[in-house]
């Protein structure tokens, strides 16, 4: 959520930002916010005047009573009663106008950074840089689901019977590789100075609406029936929620944390070969990183964070590239974002394995996360980034380390987490 003072002073800038995000249908919200905000401020001013008048009259009643002028005091009491009744109605108007303003402000996208390329969707994202040499071997690499089955590492049929499509059983050495990736990623981030955390896997609605837009919420989140709880789609939801309503001490900034959690997502509209297997699923596990920092430091942290993900993938020998997300591919709360994509030698192209985002103060405003400053309190900036999501990481490892005999070489950095195992062979 943006600063309403900024919207009042710069309505055309806010509208242009919407146009750059191809959200022309939201342009009317700016004028509606200005209208309801003006009415709200008028109502608040009227309320202040009524309360001031009531206080003055109440004081006068006391003076009249002391002077024995009871009839005059009773007349003023009736006037005070009318003011109180008028105040009740005025406060209802204030609450209504404020609710109308908030409802619309929650739908207005964050102001994107000036460096973000303008484009309609992810097809117009811009490549930043490639890391590592993408190699295509001279033998065929099967679909990742087939590789997993040949290694005795997955059971999709049983998962469908138990939970339906979009779920899986990981088995044997493949399941162990999955855990090894998470554990290695955890230690990697701890060595970067991040604090390890395991958060709640369910959060309340006021946290959900604080960390994402209503559109994202509807597309992603699973609601717990009969309770004010949602299953998290990523641990970033819980981790940012941890700071909800907090006034943070300046000397403790920044907060840098890496978190593990299972993630649950509806994944509406998944289809096609690449959506089968374990590429797009309803349940997976992930190592995340989040930063809560001073506003002037957020873009420094943004650069560090996506570079950590690149470094992690390269340490496992996986070629990657980074993409600058264009304006139309940015979720409403994001000011700037980049994707990390891993090389797929089977598809002969890159595929997304992580995303790094700077949300500036958008989440902090929604959740009330402020820093205590010497000259007043101000909103923190929040960032999040995927360290690793093993289902997609497994695909990258399997394809980039697949051998002609069907075996898969384990990246050297993961071997200590697998008891020294160097290779997974066909079962």
Query: Based on the domain organization, do 240 and 326 belong to the same domain?
Result: yes
b or e along 205-228 (b: 16 or more beta carbons within 10 Å of the residue's beta carbon)?
eebbebbbbeeebeebbbeeeeee
Which residues constitute the domain of residue 32?
4-105
Query: Based on the domain organization, do 126 and 91 belong to the same domain?
Result: no
What is the β-pairing status of strands 255-264 and 195-197?
Answer: parallel
SS (H, E, C) 180-234: HHHHHHHHHHHCCCCEEECCCCEECHHHHHHHCCHHHHHHHCEECCCCCCEECCC
State percent of the chain over pLDDT 70: 98
268, pLDDT greater than 70: no
In the predicted model, what is the mean pLDDT of residues 412-425? 97
In the predicted model, what is the mean pLDDT of residues 353-382? 96
**Taking the model in full, what pTM does it have?**
0.90
Q: Tell whether 110 is covered by a domain.
A: no
Quick: pLDDT tens for 342-366.
999 999 999 999 999 999 999 999 9
Tell me the pLDDT band of 374, cut-offs 50, 70 and 90.
Answer: confident
Tell me the pLDDT band of 32, cut-offs 50, 70 and 90.
Answer: very high
Query: Based on the domain organization, do 165 and 23 belong to the same domain?
Result: no
Q: Tell whether 112 is covered by a domain.
A: no
When mean pLDDT is compared across 31-35, 78-82, 273-277, 400-404, the lowest value belongs to: 273-277
Query: Based on the domain organization, do 177 and 295 belong to the same domain?
Result: yes
Query: Based on the domain organization, do 287 and 314 belong to the same domain?
Result: yes
> What is the distance, to the nearest Å, from the Cα of residue 241 to the centroid of all Cα atoms in its chain?
10
State in Å, rounded, how far the first CA of the chain is from the last one: 53
What pLDDT sits at residue 121?
Answer: 95
Mean predicted lDDT score pLDDT of the chain: 94
Question: What residues contact residue 201 under an 8 Å CB cut-off, 6+ apart?
Answer: 231, 232, 238, 261, 262
Quick: pLDDT tens for 126-177.
999 999 999 999 999 999 999 999 999 999 999 999 998 889 999 999 999 9
In the predicted model, what is the mean pLDDT of residues 235-261? 97
**Counted domains in the chain:** 2
Quick: pLDDT tens for 322-333.
999 999 999 999
Contact (CB, 8 A) for 216 and 106: no
DSSP state, 25? G
Measured CA to CA in angstroms, residue 240 lies from 116, 363, 411 at distances of 24, 8, 33
- The enclosing domain of 339 has a CATH number of 3.30.930.10
Rounded to an integer, what distance in angstroms lies between the CA atom of residue 291 and that of residue 301? 8
Query: Based on the domain organization, do 77 and 144 belong to the same domain?
Result: no
109, pLDDT greater than 70: yes
For the residues of 382-410, what is the DSSP string, one character each?
EEEEEEE-HHHHHHHHHHHTB-TTS-EEP
Cis peptide bond upstream of 254, omega within 30: yes
Work out whether the CA dihedral 417, 420, 422, 427 comes out positive or negative: negative
């Amino acid at each position: 959520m943006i600063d309403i003072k900024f919207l009042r002073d710069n309505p055309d800038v806010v509208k242009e930002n919407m146009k750059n995000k191809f959200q022309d249908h939201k342009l009317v919200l700016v004028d509606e916010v200005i209208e309801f905000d003006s009415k709200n401020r008028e109502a608040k001013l009227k309320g202040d005047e009524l309360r001031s008048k009531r206080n003055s009259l109440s004081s006068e009643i006391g003076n009249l009573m002391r002077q024995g002028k009871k009839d005059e005091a009773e007349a003023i009491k009736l006037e005070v009663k009318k003011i109180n009744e008028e105040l009740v109605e005025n406060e209802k108007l204030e609450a209504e106008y404020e609710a109308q303003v908030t409802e619309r402000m929650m739908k207005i996208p964050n102001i994107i950074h000036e460096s973000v390329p303008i484009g309609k969707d992810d097809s117009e994202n811009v490549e930043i840089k490639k890391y590592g040499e993408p190699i295509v071997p001279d033998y065929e690499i099967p679909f990742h689901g087939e590789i997993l089955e040949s290694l005795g590492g997955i059971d999709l049929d049983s998962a469908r019977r138990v939970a339906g499509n979009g779920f899986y059983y990981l088995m044997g050495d493949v399941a162990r590789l999955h855990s090894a990736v998470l554990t290695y990623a955890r230690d990697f981030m701890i060595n970067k100075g991040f604090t390890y955390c395991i958060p709640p896997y369910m959060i309340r609605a006021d946290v959900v609406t604080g960390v994402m837009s209503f559109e994202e919420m509807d597309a992603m989140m699973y609601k717990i029936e009969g309770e004010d709880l949602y299953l998290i789609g990523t641990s970033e939801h819980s981790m940012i929620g941890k700071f909800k309503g907090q006034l943070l001490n300046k000397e403790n900034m920044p907060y840098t944390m890496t978190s593990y959690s299972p993630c649950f997502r509806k994944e509406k509209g998944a289809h096609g070969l690449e959506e089968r297997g374990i590429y797009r699923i309803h349940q997976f596990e992930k190592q995340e990183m989040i930063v809560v920092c001073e506003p002037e430091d957020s873009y420094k942290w943004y650069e560090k964070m996506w570079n950590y993900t690149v470094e992690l993938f390269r340490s496992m020998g996986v070629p990657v590239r980074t993409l600058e997300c264009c304006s139309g591919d940015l979720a409403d709360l994001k000011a700037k974002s980049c994707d990390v994509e891993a090389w797929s030698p089977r598809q002969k192209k890159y595929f997304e394995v992580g995303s790094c985002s700077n949300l500036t103060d958008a989440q902090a405003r929604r959740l009330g996360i402020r820093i205590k400053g010497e000259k007043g309190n101000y909103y923190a900036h929040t960032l999040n980034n995927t360290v690793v999501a093993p289902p997609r990481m497994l695909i990258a490892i399997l394809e980039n380390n697949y051998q002609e005999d069907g075996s898969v070489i384990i990246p050297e950095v993961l071997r200590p987490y697998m008891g020294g195992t160097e290779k997974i062979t066909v079962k």
